Amino acid sequence: MNKMNYQLHIEINHLLDSLAKLIGYNQAHAYYERVYNEALCTTRLSDEYVKEKMKIKLRNVSLTESI
């Protein structure tokens, strides 16, 4: 794993932890699995893609929680 992939994995894990605090670990991990599988199915297996999808979900959940 190169340095860039390692950094992305750290960022993705941080996003997963943040999302888990809002919606629970099981739901957050299930969402991560869906995004990861989506990336595989579309041959877009990209850590950057997964990171962006996780950021969007976290932002949406955070907005919902703050309302």
pTM of the model: 0.74
Over residues 5-52, the pLDDT tens digits come to 888 889 999 999 999 999 999 999 999 999 988 888 876 667 888 899
Structure confidence at residue 66 (pLDDT): 72
Structure confidence at residue 4 (pLDDT): 62
Structure confidence at residue 39 (pLDDT): 82
Better pLDDT: 64 or 20: 20
Residue 54: C-alpha distances to residues 12, 47 (Å): 7, 10
Better pLDDT: 63 or 22: 22
Does residue 46 come out as left (phi exceeding 0), alpha (psi in the -120 to 50 range) or beta?
beta
Q: How many CB atoms lie within 10 A of CB 16?
A: 19
In sequence order, what are the residues at sequence separation of 6 or more whose Cβ sits closer than 8 angstroms to the Cβ of residue 62? Answer: 22
